[in-house]
């Protein structure tokens, strides 16, 4: 009996098993450490392996650092852009903002939201911003405070889907050079005539270029 070569049937079995193994490899699940993001696009929730896009302001170009979520090396030919300058609170800032409201000390749940926000603070003092997910638009002025790292803000919100957020706010924008970020804080009070307290509207965000 010649045993040097496998039969045709044996060769078919080997080929079939090889094909099955290749199929299993091709449909194997993603790596266990792969990160996914929950994003809202045009009002619909999607899941993706790329960071969610931050909202943008008309006329403000999104830098490559903001698109990729990674820091960008300084471009020595163009010089330092104010958009990437962490020595001043002026420029374009992006991050997650938390909107909260309370009535007589009780939190209003339907008002609470954590959404992406972008603001632009111009050296001339104008401030504008948007958080598209809840519809809010921001417009107002900024002024230097005690130190060059702190600005006082006087702004008005409009077009918010929760209508009671549409009002005038005062607050601050504080630059922390230790971690290259700014902290936005805005408040609006409506004390009314009730001794137990009135309405408080509060917006906070930690933002980067």
Specify the long-range contacts of residues 121-130, CB closer than 8 Å, at least 24 apart.
Answer: 121/89, 121/90, 121/91, 121/93, 121/151, 121/173, 122/90, 123/82, 123/90, 127/153, 127/155, 128/57, 129/57, 129/155, 130/55, 130/56, 130/57
What pLDDT does residue 36 have? 58
What pLDDT does residue 83 have? 53
What pLDDT does residue 49 have? 63
Domain ranges of the chain: 54-71+81-208
Average pLDDT score, the chain: 76
Tell me: pLDDT of 208 over 60. yes
Tell me: pLDDT of 11 over 80. no
Report d(CA 172, CA 145) in Å as an integer.
9
Report d(CA 111, CA 162) in Å as an integer.
6
Output 31 or 186, whichever has higher pLDDT.
186
CA distances (Å), 25 to each of 14, 19, 28, 29, 35, in order?
17, 10, 5, 9, 21
Q: Once rounded to an integer, what is the mean pLDDT over residues 80-98?
A: 84
Q: Can you name the CATH fold of 54-71+81-208?
A: Porin (2.40.160)
**Confidence class for position 105, pLDDT limits 50, 70, 90:** confident
Of 93, 6, 149, 76, which Cα lies nearest the Cα of 84?
A: 93
Output 160 or 66, whichever has higher pLDDT.
160
Q: Once rounded to an integer, what is the mean pLDDT over residues 165-170?
A: 98
Residue with tokens 């040097």: 4
What pLDDT does residue 79 have? 37
Q: Do 198 and 190 meet the contact criterion of CB atoms below 8 Å apart?
A: yes
**Confidence class for position 154, pLDDT limits 50, 70, 90:** very high
Q: Do 97 and 183 meet the contact criterion of CB atoms below 8 Å apart?
A: no
Output 194 or 100, whichever has higher pLDDT.
100
pTM for the predicted model, two decimal places: 0.65
Q: Once rounded to an integer, what is the mean pLDDT over residues 147-154?
A: 96
Q: What are the backbone dihedrals phi and psi of residue 34, each rounded to the nearest 5 degrees, phi first?
A: -70, 135
Tell me: pLDDT of 82 over 50. no
């Amino acid at each position: 009996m010649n045993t040097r070569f496998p039969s045709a049937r044996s060769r078919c079995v080997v080929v079939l098993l090889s094909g099955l193994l290749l199929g299993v490899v091709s449909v194997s699940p993603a790596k266990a450490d792969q990160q996914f993001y929950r994003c809202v696009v045009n009002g619909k929730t999607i899941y993706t392996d790329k960071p969610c896009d931050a909202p943008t302001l008309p006329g403000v170009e999104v830098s490559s650092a903001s698109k990729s979520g990674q820091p960008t090396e300084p471009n020595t030919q163009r010089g330092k852009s104010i958009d990437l300058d962490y020595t001043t609170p002026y420029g374009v800032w992006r991050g997650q903002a938390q909107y909260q409201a309370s009535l007589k000390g009780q939190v209003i749940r339907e008002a609470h939201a954590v959404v992406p926000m972008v603001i632009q603070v111009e050296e001339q003092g104008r401030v504008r911003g948007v958080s598209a997910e809840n519809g809010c638009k921001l417009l107002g002025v900024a002024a230097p405070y005690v130190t060059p790292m702190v600005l006082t803000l006087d702004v008005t919100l409009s077009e918010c889907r929760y209508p009671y957020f549409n009002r005038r706010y005062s607050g601050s924008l504080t630059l922390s050079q230790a971690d290259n970020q700014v902290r936005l804080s805005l408040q609006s009070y409506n004390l009314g005539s009730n001794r137990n307290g009135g309405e408080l509207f509060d917006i906070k965000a930690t933002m980067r270029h």
